[in-house]
């Protein structure tokens, strides 16, 4: 489910479900983003930083223009609510998170 931003409200809200092992590409948000973990186990990693393990109830504040990725652990799935400020522009999608990077985080 997604509630898109518009000219009256520059915030979008999405409920996102990740199957085990699924992840986003590296990306950034010009206006920042807040992530609310609602179920399962997920990963969040900012470029150059160690990964964070996310569980139900965890909150991440993604600063504007910081490259990051997120997704589900190998097992189980992961569910999050993303609150994205689009006032300064839409998300910028970058390169894929390689299997090597993803797997190295699971050792």
Domain holding 37: CATH number?
Answer: 2.60.120.10
Return the bridge partners of 23, or none: 71
Q: What pLDDT does 106 receive?
A: 58
pLDDT tens string, the chain, 107 residues long: the values are 778 878 788 899 999 999 999 999 999 999 999 999 999 999 999 999 998 999 999 999 999 999 999 999 999 999 999 999 999 999 999 999 999 888 876 55
What's the domain range around 18? 2-104
Express each pLDDT in 14-30 by its tens digit: 999 999 999 999 999 99
Express each pLDDT in 46-59 by its tens digit: 999 998 999 999 99
**Number of structural domains the chain divides into:** 1
Task: Count CA within 13 A, CB hemisphere, residue 72.
Answer: 16
Structure tokens at 35: 């992530």
């Amino acid at each position: 489910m997604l509630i898109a931003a518009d000219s009256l409200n520059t915030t979008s809200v999405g409920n996102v479900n990740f199957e085990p092992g699924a992840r986003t590409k590296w990306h950034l948000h010009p206006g920042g983003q807040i992530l609310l973990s609602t179920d399962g186990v997920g990963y969040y990693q900012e470029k150059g930083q160690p990964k964070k393990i996310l569980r139900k109830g965890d909150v991440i504040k993604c600063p504007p223009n910081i490259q990051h990725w997120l997704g589900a652990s190998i097992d189980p799935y992961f569910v999050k609510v993303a609150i994205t400020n689009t006032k300064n522009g839409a998300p910028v999608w970058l390169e894929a998170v390689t299997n090597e990077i993803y797997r190295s985080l699971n050792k």
